[in-house]
Chains A and B, each alone.
Chain A
Amino acid sequence: DQQVKQNSPSLSVQEGRISILNCDYTNSMFDYFLWYKKYPAEGPTFLISISSIKDKNEDGRFTVFLNKSAKHLSLHIVPSQPGDSAVYFCAGLFAYSGGGADGLTFGKGTHLIIQP
């Protein structure tokens, strides 16, 4: 059972426009949601996170929105730049369960392609 789902394997956006990456989850017990960016041959790089008690978090060009009733979150990148081309992973985290975290539960990723 996949607890975190990214239903779009790829997304193509023109440079300068907004990129919107979507993620759905089934487990309401996640304490945090995180977005990671991954280039080929490199490990994932942390981008931005949001607590499950918030509905929005912004950091520069990156904004994450959380809709708990829909169990949906999205990452907005504005404006999109060529260096944003990468695979983006959404992840859920249990931070407080049993005194420890159960690791990050990742979606399968969305390949974002920024076209010039």
Chain B
Amino acid sequence: KAGVTQTPRYLIKTRGQQVTLSCSPISGHRSVSWYQQTPGQGLQFLFEYFSETQRNKGNFPGRFSGRQFSNSRSEMNVSTLELGDSALYLCASKTTVANTEAFFGQGTRLTVV
């Protein structure tokens, strides 16, 4: 059974640009969550999608957005990139929202220069 797949693995962008990250969940998993990991703040919850609807959102500015498609694949978009957006972005999938066990992808390392 394939795990959670995130693409691309590494990305370098310039301040002011926008970026789209992709996440393919484990087959059968309908809940997809996104997290940002930085050395200073640790792992922080961005948002969660289930059945193409955003169910929950963390404390991040509106520049961070996402969506989920009918096949449960999810994309995360960051507009007007700032240097502080440099981080490892992790995607996690679960069968349902209330399930406790989330499976994480390897992450996308975003560097903003």
Contacts and interface: CB of A to CB of B under 8 A. Distances in A.
Interface in A41-81: 41-46, 49
Given A107-B42, A108-B42, A46 B101 contact: yes
Interface in A90-116: 91, 93, 95-96, 100-109
A93 B35 CA distance: 14
Contacts of A44: 43, 90, 104
A7 B102 CA distance: 24
A106 B42 contact: yes
Contacts of B48: 100-101, 103
A100 B42 contact: no
Contacts of A109: 42-43
A75 to B, nearest CB: 16
B55 A106 contact: no
Contacts of A41: 106
A105 B90 contact: no
Contact of B4 (A34, A43, A93, A101): A43
Interface in B54-109: 55-56, 58, 90, 92, 97-98, 100-107
B43 A106 contact: yes
Interface residues on A, range: 20 to 34
Contact of A89 (B43, B46, B97, B107): B43
Contacts of B105: 43
Nearest to B31: A101
Contacts of B45: 102-106
Contacts of B55: 100-101
Nearest to A96: B98
Nearest to B48: A103
B101 A49 contact: yes
Contact of A100 (B35, B44, B50, B104): B50
Contact of B90 (A43, A46, A91, A93): A43
With most chain A CB atoms within 10 A of its CB, the pick from B50, B55, B97, B98 is B98
Interface of A: 32, 34, 36, 41-46, 49, 89, 91, 93, 95-96, 100-109
Interface of B: 4, 33, 35, 41-48, 50, 55-56, 58, 90, 92, 97-98, 100-107
